[in-house]
Structure 1
Amino acid sequence: MTAVLEVEGLHKTFGGLVAVEAASFSVEAGRLFAIIGPNGAGKSTCFNMVGGQLRPDRGAVRLAGRDITGEPPRRIWRLGVGRTFQVAAAFGSMTVAENVQMAFLSHRRRIRALLPPARRLYREEALAVLDRVGMAGQADRQCGQLAYGDIKRVELAVALAHRPKLLLMDEPTAGMAPRERVELMALTAGIVRESGISVLFTEHDMDVVFAHADRLLVLDRGRMVAEGTPAEVRDNPEVQRIYLGGAGAEAALRQIEARQGTRGEARP
Protein backbone atom coordinates (compact mmCIF):
# COMPACT_ATOMS: atom_id res chain seq x y z
CA MET A 1 0.00 0.00 0.00
CA THR A 2 1.21 3.50 -0.90
CA ALA A 3 2.60 5.71 1.86
CA VAL A 4 0.95 9.14 1.87
CA LEU A 5 3.26 10.45 4.61
CA GLU A 6 6.90 9.47 5.03
CA VAL A 7 8.91 10.77 7.98
CA GLU A 8 12.63 10.00 8.03
CA GLY A 9 15.11 10.76 10.81
CA LEU A 10 13.37 13.82 12.28
CA HIS A 11 15.48 15.46 14.94
CA LYS A 12 14.80 18.54 17.06
CA THR A 13 16.62 20.09 19.99
CA PHE A 14 15.80 23.09 22.17
CA GLY A 15 19.05 24.31 23.68
CA GLY A 16 20.60 21.23 25.25
CA LEU A 17 17.32 19.29 25.33
CA VAL A 18 16.73 16.65 22.68
CA ALA A 19 12.99 16.84 22.05
CA VAL A 20 12.84 14.32 19.18
CA GLU A 21 15.65 12.01 18.12
CA ALA A 22 15.69 10.32 14.70
CA ALA A 23 11.95 9.64 14.44
CA SER A 24 11.00 7.66 11.34
CA PHE A 25 7.63 6.25 10.28
CA SER A 26 5.14 6.20 7.41
CA VAL A 27 1.36 6.47 7.13
CA GLU A 28 -0.41 4.56 4.38
CA ALA A 29 -3.53 5.65 2.50
CA GLY A 30 -6.76 5.01 4.38
CA ARG A 31 -5.01 4.29 7.69
CA LEU A 32 -4.96 5.89 11.12
CA PHE A 33 -1.54 6.25 12.73
CA ALA A 34 -1.22 7.36 16.37
CA ILE A 35 1.74 8.93 18.16
CA ILE A 36 1.56 8.24 21.88
CA GLY A 37 3.79 8.63 24.89
CA PRO A 38 3.93 10.18 28.38
CA ASN A 39 4.01 13.92 28.95
CA GLY A 40 7.24 15.38 27.59
CA ALA A 41 7.82 12.43 25.26
CA GLY A 42 8.11 14.61 22.14
CA LYS A 43 4.70 13.88 20.61
CA SER A 44 3.73 17.50 20.00
CA THR A 45 7.20 18.40 18.72
CA CYS A 46 7.13 15.54 16.21
CA PHE A 47 3.56 16.35 15.22
CA ASN A 48 4.34 20.03 14.71
CA MET A 49 7.38 19.28 12.57
CA VAL A 50 5.11 17.31 10.24
CA GLY A 51 2.55 20.13 10.17
CA GLY A 52 5.10 22.90 9.62
CA GLN A 53 4.73 24.68 12.95
CA LEU A 54 8.32 23.69 13.78
CA ARG A 55 11.30 23.30 11.47
CA PRO A 56 13.33 20.14 12.13
CA ASP A 57 17.07 20.41 12.76
CA ARG A 58 17.49 17.51 10.36
CA GLY A 59 15.43 14.78 8.75
CA ALA A 60 12.77 14.76 6.06
CA VAL A 61 9.00 14.88 5.73
CA ARG A 62 7.43 13.77 2.43
CA LEU A 63 3.79 14.04 1.38
CA ALA A 64 2.89 11.69 -1.47
CA GLY A 65 6.57 11.64 -2.40
CA ARG A 66 6.99 15.43 -2.28
CA ASP A 67 9.47 16.93 0.18
CA ILE A 68 7.59 19.33 2.49
CA THR A 69 10.29 19.54 5.18
CA GLY A 70 10.22 22.95 6.84
CA GLU A 71 7.45 24.33 4.63
CA PRO A 72 5.11 26.79 6.41
CA PRO A 73 1.72 25.46 7.61
CA ARG A 74 -0.31 27.36 5.02
CA ARG A 75 1.78 25.92 2.21
CA ILE A 76 1.45 22.42 3.65
CA TRP A 77 -2.32 22.90 3.94
CA ARG A 78 -2.56 23.90 0.30
CA LEU A 79 -0.61 20.79 -0.70
CA GLY A 80 -3.30 18.58 0.86
CA VAL A 81 -2.95 18.42 4.64
CA GLY A 82 -5.93 19.17 6.90
CA ARG A 83 -5.65 19.75 10.63
CA THR A 84 -7.74 19.79 13.78
CA PHE A 85 -6.50 21.12 17.11
CA GLN A 86 -6.56 20.03 20.73
CA VAL A 87 -8.80 22.96 21.64
CA ALA A 88 -11.42 23.25 18.92
CA ALA A 89 -12.42 26.72 17.77
CA ALA A 90 -14.80 28.22 15.24
CA PHE A 91 -16.07 31.66 14.29
CA GLY A 92 -18.79 31.92 16.93
CA SER A 93 -20.74 34.72 15.26
CA MET A 94 -20.89 32.83 11.95
CA THR A 95 -23.15 29.93 11.12
CA VAL A 96 -21.95 26.36 10.88
CA ALA A 97 -22.20 26.47 7.08
CA GLU A 98 -20.35 29.80 6.88
CA ASN A 99 -17.43 28.37 8.85
CA VAL A 100 -17.03 25.60 6.28
CA GLN A 101 -17.62 28.02 3.40
CA MET A 102 -14.67 30.06 4.68
CA ALA A 103 -12.45 27.01 4.23
CA PHE A 104 -13.58 26.71 0.60
CA LEU A 105 -13.07 30.44 0.04
CA SER A 106 -9.55 30.27 1.44
CA HIS A 107 -8.51 27.17 -0.46
CA ARG A 108 -9.83 28.57 -3.73
CA ARG A 109 -8.15 31.90 -3.06
CA ARG A 110 -11.34 33.89 -2.81
CA ILE A 111 -10.90 34.97 0.80
CA ARG A 112 -11.22 38.62 -0.25
CA ALA A 113 -14.79 38.10 -1.43
CA LEU A 114 -16.96 40.44 0.63
CA LEU A 115 -20.05 39.56 2.63
CA PRO A 116 -22.95 39.22 1.97
CA PRO A 117 -22.03 37.82 -1.52
CA ALA A 118 -19.59 35.36 0.09
CA ARG A 119 -22.50 33.75 1.96
CA ARG A 120 -23.75 32.40 -1.35
CA LEU A 121 -20.41 30.94 -2.43
CA TYR A 122 -19.77 27.20 -1.97
CA ARG A 123 -22.82 26.71 0.24
CA GLU A 124 -23.82 23.45 -1.45
CA GLU A 125 -20.28 22.14 -1.13
CA ALA A 126 -20.26 23.11 2.54
CA LEU A 127 -23.58 21.37 3.16
CA ALA A 128 -22.23 18.19 1.54
CA VAL A 129 -19.22 18.15 3.88
CA LEU A 130 -21.42 18.92 6.89
CA ASP A 131 -23.65 16.01 5.96
CA ARG A 132 -20.62 13.69 6.16
CA VAL A 133 -19.96 14.75 9.76
CA GLY A 134 -23.61 14.75 10.85
CA MET A 135 -23.99 18.52 11.08
CA ALA A 136 -26.06 19.42 7.99
CA GLY A 137 -29.17 19.77 10.15
CA GLN A 138 -27.48 22.57 12.11
CA ALA A 139 -26.00 24.38 9.12
CA ASP A 140 -27.75 27.68 9.85
CA ARG A 141 -27.09 27.79 13.60
CA GLN A 142 -24.43 30.14 14.91
CA CYS A 143 -21.37 28.24 16.09
CA GLY A 144 -21.44 30.19 19.34
CA GLN A 145 -24.63 28.32 20.25
CA LEU A 146 -23.20 24.84 19.76
CA ALA A 147 -22.11 22.29 22.34
CA TYR A 148 -18.38 21.56 22.37
CA GLY A 149 -18.80 18.13 20.79
CA ASP A 150 -20.58 19.73 17.84
CA ILE A 151 -17.82 22.34 17.51
CA LYS A 152 -15.40 19.42 17.13
CA ARG A 153 -17.53 18.10 14.26
CA VAL A 154 -17.55 21.53 12.59
CA GLU A 155 -13.76 21.68 12.93
CA LEU A 156 -13.52 18.25 11.29
CA ALA A 157 -15.72 19.47 8.43
CA VAL A 158 -13.47 22.52 7.96
CA ALA A 159 -10.41 20.25 7.87
CA LEU A 160 -12.05 18.01 5.25
CA ALA A 161 -13.30 20.84 3.03
CA HIS A 162 -10.35 20.84 0.64
CA ARG A 163 -10.26 17.03 0.36
CA PRO A 164 -6.90 16.52 2.06
CA LYS A 165 -4.61 13.56 1.43
CA LEU A 166 -3.56 13.64 5.09
CA LEU A 167 -5.44 14.73 8.19
CA LEU A 168 -3.49 15.77 11.30
CA MET A 169 -5.53 15.51 14.51
CA ASP A 170 -4.02 16.86 17.71
CA GLU A 171 -5.76 15.24 20.72
CA PRO A 172 -9.03 14.91 18.77
CA THR A 173 -11.13 13.84 21.76
CA ALA A 174 -9.72 16.27 24.35
CA GLY A 175 -12.44 17.92 26.43
CA MET A 176 -15.19 15.63 25.18
CA ALA A 177 -17.54 13.39 27.12
CA PRO A 178 -16.91 9.62 26.78
CA ARG A 179 -19.85 9.05 24.43
CA GLU A 180 -18.83 12.00 22.25
CA ARG A 181 -15.29 10.61 22.02
CA VAL A 182 -16.53 7.26 20.76
CA GLU A 183 -18.87 8.87 18.23
CA LEU A 184 -16.29 11.33 16.87
CA MET A 185 -13.57 8.73 16.36
CA ALA A 186 -16.00 6.21 14.85
CA LEU A 187 -17.13 8.95 12.47
CA THR A 188 -13.52 9.84 11.58
CA ALA A 189 -12.56 6.20 11.04
CA GLY A 190 -15.56 5.71 8.76
CA ILE A 191 -14.62 8.73 6.64
CA VAL A 192 -11.02 7.51 6.44
CA ARG A 193 -12.02 4.06 5.22
CA GLU A 194 -14.49 5.49 2.72
CA SER A 195 -12.30 8.24 1.24
CA GLY A 196 -8.78 6.84 1.61
CA ILE A 197 -7.56 9.82 3.63
CA SER A 198 -4.61 9.11 5.94
CA VAL A 199 -4.74 10.27 9.56
CA LEU A 200 -1.87 11.06 11.91
CA PHE A 201 -3.08 11.78 15.44
CA THR A 202 -1.86 12.20 18.98
CA GLU A 203 -4.07 11.03 21.82
CA HIS A 204 -3.98 10.32 25.56
CA ASP A 205 -7.16 8.21 25.66
CA MET A 206 -5.97 4.62 25.28
CA ASP A 207 -9.48 3.38 24.47
CA VAL A 208 -9.49 5.68 21.45
CA VAL A 209 -5.97 4.68 20.42
CA PHE A 210 -6.37 0.93 20.66
CA ALA A 211 -9.86 0.91 19.18
CA HIS A 212 -9.06 2.95 16.06
CA ALA A 213 -5.33 3.17 15.27
CA ASP A 214 -3.97 0.81 12.64
CA ARG A 215 -0.40 1.49 13.78
CA LEU A 216 1.21 3.31 16.69
CA LEU A 217 4.48 5.08 17.36
CA VAL A 218 5.50 5.27 21.01
CA LEU A 219 7.91 8.02 22.07
CA ASP A 220 9.67 8.48 25.39
CA ARG A 221 11.99 11.44 26.07
CA GLY A 222 12.22 12.08 22.37
CA ARG A 223 13.30 8.62 21.30
CA MET A 224 11.32 5.92 19.56
CA VAL A 225 10.42 3.12 21.95
CA ALA A 226 8.20 1.05 19.66
CA GLU A 227 6.31 1.17 16.38
CA GLY A 228 3.76 -1.35 15.18
CA THR A 229 0.19 -2.60 15.36
CA PRO A 230 -1.87 -2.10 18.55
CA ALA A 231 -1.29 -5.75 19.45
CA GLU A 232 2.48 -5.46 18.95
CA VAL A 233 2.64 -2.29 21.03
CA ARG A 234 0.44 -3.81 23.71
CA ASP A 235 2.84 -6.73 24.10
CA ASN A 236 6.05 -4.66 24.04
CA PRO A 237 7.67 -4.93 27.52
CA GLU A 238 9.40 -1.55 27.27
CA VAL A 239 6.14 0.18 26.37
CA GLN A 240 4.44 -1.47 29.31
CA ARG A 241 7.24 -0.45 31.65
CA ILE A 242 7.84 3.12 30.47
CA TYR A 243 4.47 4.35 29.38
CA LEU A 244 1.55 2.18 30.27
CA GLY A 245 2.53 0.96 33.72
CA GLY A 246 3.25 -2.73 33.51
CA ALA A 247 0.36 -4.62 31.96
CA GLY A 248 -1.66 -1.44 31.34
CA ALA A 249 -1.50 -1.69 27.56
CA GLU A 250 -2.62 -5.29 27.55
CA ALA A 251 -5.39 -4.59 30.04
CA ALA A 252 -6.62 -1.62 28.00
CA LEU A 253 -6.80 -3.60 24.79
CA ARG A 254 -8.38 -6.62 26.47
CA GLN A 255 -11.12 -4.38 27.89
CA ILE A 256 -11.80 -2.94 24.44
CA GLU A 257 -11.91 -6.42 22.92
CA ALA A 258 -14.36 -7.55 25.59
CA ARG A 259 -16.64 -4.55 24.97
CA GLN A 260 -16.49 -4.56 21.20
CA GLY A 261 -15.65 -8.13 20.29
CA THR A 262 -12.66 -6.95 18.27
CA ARG A 263 -9.79 -8.88 16.93
CA GLY A 264 -6.71 -8.15 19.00
CA GLU A 265 -4.69 -8.09 15.79
CA ALA A 266 -3.97 -5.56 13.09
CA ARG A 267 -6.66 -4.70 10.55
CA PRO A 268 -6.23 -6.39 7.20
Structure 2
Amino acid sequence: MSEILRVENLKKSYDGFLAVNDVSFAVAKGELKALIGPNGAGKSTCFNMLMGQLRPTAGEVYLDGERITGKRPREIWRRGVGRTFQITGTYQSMSVIENVQMALMSHHKRIFSIAPRAWKLYRDEAMGFLDTVSMADQADRPCSVLAYGDLKRLELAIALCHRPRLLLMDEPTAGMAPSARIELMQLVADIVRDQGVSVLFTEHDMDVVFAHAHHIMVLNRGELIADGSATEVRNNPQVQEVYLGGGTLFKEDANA
Protein backbone atom coordinates (compact mmCIF):
# COMPACT_ATOMS: atom_id res chain seq x y z
CA MET A 1 0.00 0.00 0.00
CA SER A 2 1.13 3.54 -0.72
CA GLU A 3 1.75 6.01 2.10
CA ILE A 4 -0.59 8.80 3.13
CA LEU A 5 1.66 10.05 5.96
CA ARG A 6 5.43 9.95 6.36
CA VAL A 7 7.25 11.28 9.41
CA GLU A 8 11.03 11.64 9.29
CA ASN A 9 13.29 12.19 12.32
CA LEU A 10 10.72 14.24 14.22
CA LYS A 11 11.95 15.98 17.38
CA LYS A 12 10.49 18.34 19.96
CA SER A 13 12.73 19.86 22.61
CA TYR A 14 11.81 21.99 25.62
CA ASP A 15 14.87 23.66 27.16
CA GLY A 16 17.01 20.67 26.30
CA PHE A 17 14.42 18.04 27.28
CA LEU A 18 13.47 15.89 24.29
CA ALA A 19 9.74 15.19 24.50
CA VAL A 20 9.90 13.49 21.08
CA ASN A 21 13.28 12.23 19.91
CA ASP A 22 14.07 11.27 16.30
CA VAL A 23 10.74 9.57 15.54
CA SER A 24 10.17 8.21 12.03
CA PHE A 25 7.20 6.22 10.75
CA ALA A 26 4.63 5.95 7.97
CA VAL A 27 0.89 5.38 7.75
CA ALA A 28 -0.40 3.62 4.66
CA LYS A 29 -3.55 4.58 2.78
CA GLY A 30 -6.50 2.73 4.25
CA GLU A 31 -4.57 1.74 7.38
CA LEU A 32 -5.79 1.83 10.99
CA LYS A 33 -2.60 2.35 13.00
CA ALA A 34 -2.17 2.76 16.76
CA LEU A 35 0.40 4.82 18.63
CA ILE A 36 0.64 3.63 22.22
CA GLY A 37 2.91 4.21 25.19
CA PRO A 38 2.89 5.04 28.91
CA ASN A 39 1.73 8.43 30.16
CA GLY A 40 4.32 11.05 29.23
CA ALA A 41 5.71 8.97 26.35
CA GLY A 42 5.21 11.83 23.87
CA LYS A 43 2.09 10.66 22.03
CA SER A 44 0.09 13.89 22.26
CA THR A 45 3.20 15.98 21.54
CA CYS A 46 3.72 13.93 18.40
CA PHE A 47 0.08 14.40 17.36
CA ASN A 48 0.29 18.14 17.96
CA MET A 49 3.27 18.39 15.63
CA LEU A 50 1.51 16.37 12.92
CA MET A 51 -1.52 18.68 13.07
CA GLY A 52 0.44 21.94 13.37
CA GLN A 53 -0.42 22.85 16.96
CA LEU A 54 3.29 22.53 17.78
CA ARG A 55 6.24 23.34 15.58
CA PRO A 56 8.90 20.58 15.49
CA THR A 57 12.39 21.33 16.72
CA ALA A 58 13.62 19.16 13.86
CA GLY A 59 12.30 16.66 11.35
CA GLU A 60 9.78 16.60 8.54
CA VAL A 61 6.14 15.60 8.03
CA TYR A 62 4.76 14.70 4.59
CA LEU A 63 1.11 14.20 3.61
CA ASP A 64 0.76 12.17 0.43
CA GLY A 65 4.26 13.32 -0.57
CA GLU A 66 3.65 17.01 0.18
CA ARG A 67 5.69 18.63 2.95
CA ILE A 68 3.40 20.02 5.65
CA THR A 69 5.98 20.58 8.40
CA GLY A 70 5.23 23.73 10.39
CA LYS A 71 2.05 24.64 8.55
CA ARG A 72 -0.85 26.00 10.56
CA PRO A 73 -3.59 23.61 11.71
CA ARG A 74 -6.20 25.05 9.36
CA GLU A 75 -3.85 24.68 6.38
CA ILE A 76 -3.24 21.05 7.30
CA TRP A 77 -6.97 20.52 7.80
CA ARG A 78 -7.66 21.97 4.35
CA ARG A 79 -5.21 19.45 2.89
CA GLY A 80 -7.26 16.57 4.24
CA VAL A 81 -6.23 15.84 7.82
CA GLY A 82 -8.94 15.64 10.47
CA ARG A 83 -8.60 15.25 14.22
CA THR A 84 -10.58 14.27 17.28
CA PHE A 85 -9.43 15.06 20.81
CA GLN A 86 -9.32 13.35 24.19
CA ILE A 87 -11.97 15.77 25.48
CA THR A 88 -14.92 16.34 23.18
CA GLY A 89 -15.56 19.85 21.91
CA THR A 90 -19.13 20.38 20.70
CA TYR A 91 -21.57 23.28 20.92
CA GLN A 92 -23.62 22.23 23.92
CA SER A 93 -26.35 24.79 23.26
CA MET A 94 -26.96 23.40 19.76
CA SER A 95 -28.64 20.23 18.62
CA VAL A 96 -26.72 17.25 17.29
CA ILE A 97 -27.51 18.03 13.67
CA GLU A 98 -26.72 21.73 14.09
CA ASN A 99 -23.20 20.80 15.22
CA VAL A 100 -22.71 18.78 12.05
CA GLN A 101 -24.23 21.54 9.92
CA MET A 102 -21.72 24.00 11.37
CA ALA A 103 -18.87 21.68 10.37
CA LEU A 104 -20.32 21.38 6.87
CA MET A 105 -20.64 25.15 6.57
CA SER A 106 -16.94 25.39 7.36
CA HIS A 107 -16.14 22.68 4.82
CA HIS A 108 -18.14 24.47 2.13
CA LYS A 109 -16.59 27.83 3.12
CA ARG A 110 -19.90 29.28 4.24
CA ILE A 111 -19.05 29.73 7.89
CA PHE A 112 -20.02 33.41 7.66
CA SER A 113 -23.45 32.54 6.29
CA ILE A 114 -24.99 32.62 9.77
CA ALA A 115 -28.52 33.89 9.23
CA PRO A 116 -32.08 33.05 10.26
CA ARG A 117 -32.16 30.40 7.50
CA ALA A 118 -28.73 28.91 8.26
CA TRP A 119 -30.34 25.99 10.10
CA LYS A 120 -31.60 24.72 6.72
CA LEU A 121 -28.13 24.53 5.15
CA TYR A 122 -26.77 21.04 4.39
CA ARG A 123 -29.35 19.29 6.57
CA ASP A 124 -29.62 16.24 4.29
CA GLU A 125 -25.83 15.98 4.07
CA ALA A 126 -25.57 16.27 7.84
CA MET A 127 -28.10 13.49 8.28
CA GLY A 128 -25.93 11.28 6.09
CA PHE A 129 -22.94 11.76 8.38
CA LEU A 130 -25.07 11.14 11.46
CA ASP A 131 -26.32 7.94 9.88
CA THR A 132 -22.70 6.85 9.36
CA VAL A 133 -22.08 7.07 13.11
CA SER A 134 -25.52 5.68 14.07
CA MET A 135 -26.73 9.02 15.46
CA ALA A 136 -29.46 9.92 12.96
CA ASP A 137 -32.20 9.10 15.46
CA GLN A 138 -30.75 11.71 17.85
CA ALA A 139 -30.38 14.49 15.28
CA ASP A 140 -32.62 17.01 17.01
CA ARG A 141 -31.54 16.34 20.58
CA PRO A 142 -29.49 19.04 22.33
CA CYS A 143 -25.86 18.06 22.85
CA SER A 144 -26.15 18.97 26.51
CA VAL A 145 -28.19 15.82 27.22
CA LEU A 146 -26.09 13.30 25.30
CA ALA A 147 -24.24 10.45 26.95
CA TYR A 148 -20.46 10.75 26.69
CA GLY A 149 -20.20 7.90 24.20
CA ASP A 150 -22.70 9.64 21.92
CA LEU A 151 -20.68 12.85 22.13
CA LYS A 152 -17.66 10.86 20.90
CA ARG A 153 -19.73 9.57 17.97
CA LEU A 154 -20.85 13.10 17.18
CA GLU A 155 -17.26 14.34 17.27
CA LEU A 156 -16.35 11.63 14.76
CA ALA A 157 -19.21 12.72 12.47
CA ILE A 158 -17.96 16.32 12.68
CA ALA A 159 -14.41 15.23 11.81
CA LEU A 160 -15.70 13.28 8.80
CA CYS A 161 -17.54 16.32 7.39
CA HIS A 162 -14.35 17.55 5.73
CA ARG A 163 -13.89 14.13 4.10
CA PRO A 164 -10.36 13.69 5.47
CA ARG A 165 -7.82 11.44 3.84
CA LEU A 166 -6.15 11.02 7.22
CA LEU A 167 -7.85 11.13 10.61
CA LEU A 168 -5.87 11.62 13.82
CA MET A 169 -7.75 10.36 16.88
CA ASP A 170 -6.25 11.19 20.27
CA GLU A 171 -7.56 8.62 22.78
CA PRO A 172 -10.94 8.24 21.05
CA THR A 173 -12.41 5.96 23.75
CA ALA A 174 -11.18 7.88 26.82
CA GLY A 175 -13.88 8.13 29.49
CA MET A 176 -16.18 5.63 27.80
CA ALA A 177 -17.68 2.44 29.20
CA PRO A 178 -16.02 -0.79 27.94
CA SER A 179 -18.94 -1.77 25.68
CA ALA A 180 -19.09 1.73 24.18
CA ARG A 181 -15.34 1.63 23.49
CA ILE A 182 -15.72 -1.55 21.48
CA GLU A 183 -18.65 -0.14 19.52
CA LEU A 184 -16.88 3.10 18.68
CA MET A 185 -13.66 1.45 17.48
CA GLN A 186 -15.62 -1.06 15.43
CA LEU A 187 -17.34 1.92 13.82
CA VAL A 188 -13.95 3.49 13.07
CA ALA A 189 -12.69 0.19 11.61
CA ASP A 190 -15.79 0.03 9.38
CA ILE A 191 -15.17 3.58 8.13
CA VAL A 192 -11.54 2.71 7.33
CA ARG A 193 -12.68 -0.35 5.42
CA ASP A 194 -15.63 1.22 3.59
CA GLN A 195 -14.33 4.73 2.89
CA GLY A 196 -10.58 4.16 2.65
CA VAL A 197 -9.83 6.79 5.31
CA SER A 198 -6.47 6.29 7.02
CA VAL A 199 -6.55 6.54 10.82
CA LEU A 200 -3.73 7.07 13.31
CA PHE A 201 -4.92 6.85 16.90
CA THR A 202 -3.52 6.90 20.42
CA GLU A 203 -5.14 4.72 23.05
CA HIS A 204 -4.61 3.37 26.57
CA ASP A 205 -7.11 0.51 26.30
CA MET A 206 -4.96 -2.34 25.02
CA ASP A 207 -7.97 -4.53 24.26
CA VAL A 208 -9.15 -1.87 21.82
CA VAL A 209 -5.69 -1.53 20.28
CA PHE A 210 -5.03 -5.22 19.76
CA ALA A 211 -8.55 -5.93 18.54
CA HIS A 212 -8.64 -3.26 15.81
CA ALA A 213 -5.23 -1.82 14.83
CA HIS A 214 -3.63 -3.12 11.64
CA HIS A 215 -0.23 -2.12 12.99
CA ILE A 216 0.98 -0.75 16.32
CA MET A 217 3.75 1.68 17.24
CA VAL A 218 5.09 2.09 20.77
CA LEU A 219 6.62 5.29 22.16
CA ASN A 220 8.60 5.42 25.38
CA ARG A 221 10.28 8.55 26.74
CA GLY A 222 9.88 10.21 23.36
CA GLU A 223 11.50 7.41 21.35
CA LEU A 224 9.86 4.89 19.05
CA ILE A 225 10.77 1.44 20.37
CA ALA A 226 8.50 -0.78 18.25
CA ASP A 227 6.50 -0.66 15.02
CA GLY A 228 4.85 -3.80 13.72
CA SER A 229 1.93 -6.20 13.81
CA ALA A 230 0.01 -6.97 16.99
CA THR A 231 1.94 -10.23 17.41
CA GLU A 232 5.32 -8.56 16.88
CA VAL A 233 4.55 -5.80 19.37
CA ARG A 234 3.02 -8.19 21.91
CA ASN A 235 6.16 -10.34 21.88
CA ASN A 236 8.69 -7.49 21.80
CA PRO A 237 10.84 -7.76 24.98
CA GLN A 238 11.42 -4.01 25.17
CA VAL A 239 7.69 -3.32 24.97
CA GLN A 240 7.00 -5.94 27.63
CA GLU A 241 9.58 -4.32 29.88
CA VAL A 242 8.00 -0.89 29.47
CA TYR A 243 4.48 -2.09 30.28
CA LEU A 244 4.96 -4.93 32.73
CA GLY A 245 8.57 -5.06 33.73
CA GLY A 246 9.01 -8.25 31.72
CA GLY A 247 6.78 -11.24 31.00
CA THR A 248 4.03 -11.56 28.43
CA LEU A 249 2.29 -8.33 27.49
CA PHE A 250 -1.03 -9.81 26.39
CA LYS A 251 -2.50 -13.24 26.04
CA GLU A 252 -2.26 -14.59 22.50
CA ASP A 253 -5.59 -15.05 20.79
CA ALA A 254 -6.46 -17.75 18.31
CA ASN A 255 -6.22 -15.40 15.32
CA ALA A 256 -2.96 -13.67 16.22
TM range (shorter): over 0.9
Report what 2:81 is aligned to.
Answer: 81
Letter aligned with residue 181 of structure 1: R
Aligned: 1:157 with 2:157: yes
SS of residue paired to 2:48: helix
Structure 1, unaligned runs of 5 or more? none
Aligned partners of 1:41, 1:114: CA distance in 2, in Å?
A: 42
SS of residue paired to 1:61: strand
Report what 2:250 is aligned to.
Answer: 250
Offset, 1:245: 3.6
Write the deviation string for residues 47-104 of structure 1: whole angstroms up to 9, x where unpaired.
Answer: 1111111111111111111111111111111111111110112111111111011111
The worse-fitting range, judged by mean Cα deviation, of 53-62 and 238-247 is 238-247
Offset, 1:139: 0.7
Pairing 1:65-104 to 2, within 5 Å after superposition: 65-104=65-104
Moved over 4 A (4+): none
Aligned partners of 1:121, 1:63: CA distance in 2, in Å?
A: 31
Aligned partners of 2:76, 2:248: CA distance in 1, in Å?
A: 37
How many residues are paired up?
256
Aligned: 1:57 with 2:45: no
Report what 2:168 is aligned to.
Answer: 168
Report what 2:240 is aligned to.
Answer: 240
Offset, 1:211: 0.7
Aligned: 1:218 with 2:218: yes
Aligned partners of 1:151, 1:244: CA distance in 2, in Å?
A: 33
SS of residue paired to 1:48: helix
SS of residue paired to 1:116: coil
Aligned partners of 2:247, 2:182: CA distance in 1, in Å?
A: 23
Letter aligned with residue 158 of structure 1: I
Write the deviation string for residues 234-258 of structure 1: whole angstroms up to 9, x where unpaired.
Answer: 111011012344234233xx3xx3x
Distance 1:244-1:127 versus aligned 2 partners, 3 A rule? farther
SS of residue paired to 2:250: helix
Aligned partners of 1:186, 1:75: CA distance in 2, in Å?
A: 30
Letter aligned with residue 143 of structure 2: C
Write the deviation string for residues 204-255 of structure 1: whole angstroms up to 9, x where unpaired.
Answer: 110011111111111111111111111100111011012344234233xx3x
Report what 2:48 is aligned to.
Answer: 48
Aligned partners of 1:156, 1:232: CA distance in 2, in Å?
A: 30
Aligned: 1:229 with 2:229: yes
Write the deviation string for residues 157-188 of structure 1: whole angstroms up to 9, x where unpaired.
Answer: 00001110000000000000000000000011
Offset, 1:201: 0.7
Letter aligned with residue 12 of structure 2: K
Report what 2:121 is aligned to.
Answer: 121
